[in-house]
Amino acid sequence: MITATQQLESYLECFSEFEKLAAGHDLPWLRKLRRDAFARFCAAGFPTTHDEDWRFTNVSAIAQTPFRLTRNGRARLSQQELEPYRVAGVASQLVFVNGRIARELSLLSKLPDGVKVRSLAEEIPSNPGAIEAHFGRYLDVRRDAFCALNTAFAEDGAYVHIPRGTLVEEPICLLFVSTAEDDPSMSHPRNLIVAEEDSQATFVEDYVSLDGGGAVFCNTVTELVAGDHTVLAHYMIEREHKQAFNISTLRIQHGRGANVVSHSVLLGGALVRNNVHPVLAGEGGECLINGLFIGNGHQHLDNYMLVEHASPRCGSRQFYNGILDEHAHGVFHGRIIVHKDAQKTDAKQTNRNLLLSDDAQIDTKPQLEIYADDVKCTHGATIGQIEADALFYLRSRGIDEVSARKLLLFAFASECLDRMKQGPVRKHVEGLINRCLLQMANSAPGASTENRREDTGRNWEEIA
């Protein structure tokens, strides 16, 4: 454990060392961006639970651990070790180990002409103009200390560029592997995805850890620039080991008529915070934010949505389902801001939760800030348990208790799955969820069927 001063000194030491050698260290704009972000981080420090946006999530375990940047680690992995983490049916997978590109582990199939999928650290020196045009332009480092920290240490991650009118049918997968080091290690992957006007593509960020169980802290940011009339899907899959800290931010900039779908699937990690922040900046944009979080043990899974309606006639939908067992703690914080000019906004938010034990906890909080006068915003949340009647019904037809539980959990989770387009990524996610729920159903104490509380819970609806 370290004090706040030691903590800053430790980061300062890392930063000074990093800054000298980092890709693009000779680019004045990038140097300034990193320095400003670091100064911002130093001024703000890690958030505390007094901060409204962090009320339910205590990050002191991250703040008090002296994490160091890892600059190696990538050499020791073999193709074979990564085999379980490939996505079946997907030929393109860029692999990052502790936040840095591992070219020899990456698979790249032939992509349509002009589509670029490569390492940001490699792209910065070779194509600084294109990076500068978007990098850090959308993320607000003043809002969030973790975003500031990421920007200070931003160097590698994926750079994806899809030219105008291009249809990329095959999903572009980014695999982030954290490996345990002797000392607590951190990485700050930074992705920049630029999809030009009228293009279509699917992106997958998959976070895994190779067994070892050491303290790892992955603080990732993705800026996704959705040009006018693009149709994009983004998947965030968190399945690191149960000691990992993972903070992620997806910042989506919507162009006119852009249609972006964000799917978040949080299964692993000790302390996980997933920020999804779309700004519907062009008229007629559509955004679906779909999420599923499944936790047990002492996992803490925090889903933070900030949906900004900045233009008229945009629609946003948030659907999050959570399943929590044992001592797991889930958070759903759905904030919707409708700016003054965003008339005819149609925003909807739904959060449904299943608590499987008396000690599991969910904090669900809607937050609507509406400055326009012709909008439709609704939100609702439910908290419930597995219904004893449904369980008995399944069992009375011959299905054993564990399978029946799993079936009911899977049915609940499948609401989220059904919002994903059919294809290899959905299959991949389905497999992960299946395994996770089977394990959960197996560990359930068979006799807790007496608790017969229905899935009514809290419910609210509001039309503004």
Partner 1 sequence: MSLLEIKNLHIKVDNHEILKGIDLKVNAGEVHSIMGPNGSGKSTLAQALARRETYAVTAGEVSYNGKDLLAMKPEEAACEGVFMAFQYPVEIPGISNAYFLRSALNAIHKYRGLDEIDAIDFLPLFREKLKLLDMDEKLMNRSVNEGFSGGEKKRNEILQMAVLEPKLAILDETDSGLDIDALRIVARGVEAMRKPDRAIVIVTHYQRLLNYIVPDFVHVLVDGRIVRSGGPELALELEEKGYGAMEAEAGHATPA
Q: Which amino acid is at 458?
A: R
* 27 contributes a contact to partner 1 by CB under 8 A: no
* 26 contributes a contact to partner 1 by CB under 8 A: no
Minimal distance in Å, beta carbon 397 to partner 1? 4
Minimal distance in Å, beta carbon 380 to partner 1? 16
Query: Are 424 and 88 a contacting pair, CB within 8 Å?
Result: yes
d(CA 412, CA 295): 14
Stretch that binds partner 1, among 5-13, 46-54, 187-195, 402-410 (CB under 8 A): 402-410
d(CA 10, CA 424): 43
Minimal distance in Å, beta carbon 390 to partner 1? 5
* 42 contributes a contact to partner 1 by CB under 8 A: no
352 phi, psi to nearest 5 deg: -120, 140
196 phi, psi to nearest 5 deg: -75, 170
Minimal distance in Å, beta carbon 464 to partner 1? 29
d(CA 82, CA 94): 12
Pairing between β-strand 329-338 and β-strand 361-370 as defined by DSSP bridges:
parallel
Element (H, E) at 16: helix 4-21
Minimal distance in Å, beta carbon 272 to partner 1? 25
Judged by CB under 8 A, the residue of 388, 432, 438, 464 near partner 1 is 388
Judged by CB under 8 A, the residue of 407, 432, 438, 464 near partner 1 is 407
Minimal distance in Å, beta carbon 429 to partner 1? 16
Minimal distance in Å, beta carbon 452 to partner 1? 8
DSSP codes, 230-282: -EEEEEEEEE--TT-EEEEEEEEEE-TT-EEEEEEEE---SEEEEEEEEEE-S
Query: Are 318 and 416 a contacting pair, CB within 8 Å?
Result: no
Judged by CB under 8 A, the residue of 11, 203, 235, 410 near partner 1 is 410
Q: How many CB atoms lie within 10 A of CB 222?
A: 24
* Of 215 and 409, CB closest to partner 1: 409
* 453 contributes a contact to partner 1 by CB under 8 A: no
Query: Are 152 and 38 a contacting pair, CB within 8 Å?
Result: yes
Minimal distance in Å, beta carbon 402 to partner 1? 10
Judged by CB under 8 A, the residue of 5, 78, 80, 396 near partner 1 is 396
* Of 271 and 391, CB closest to partner 1: 391
* 320 contributes a contact to partner 1 by CB under 8 A: no
* 104 contributes a contact to partner 1 by CB under 8 A: no
Query: Are 11 and 19 a contacting pair, CB within 8 Å?
Result: no
Stretch that binds partner 1, among 165-173, 298-306, 397-405, 420-428 (CB under 8 A): 397-405
* Of 201 and 381, CB closest to partner 1: 381
* 454 contributes a contact to partner 1 by CB under 8 A: no
d(CA 33, CA 39): 10
Residues making contact with partner 1 (CB under 8 A): 387-390, 392-401, 403-404, 407-408, 410-412, 414-415, 449-450
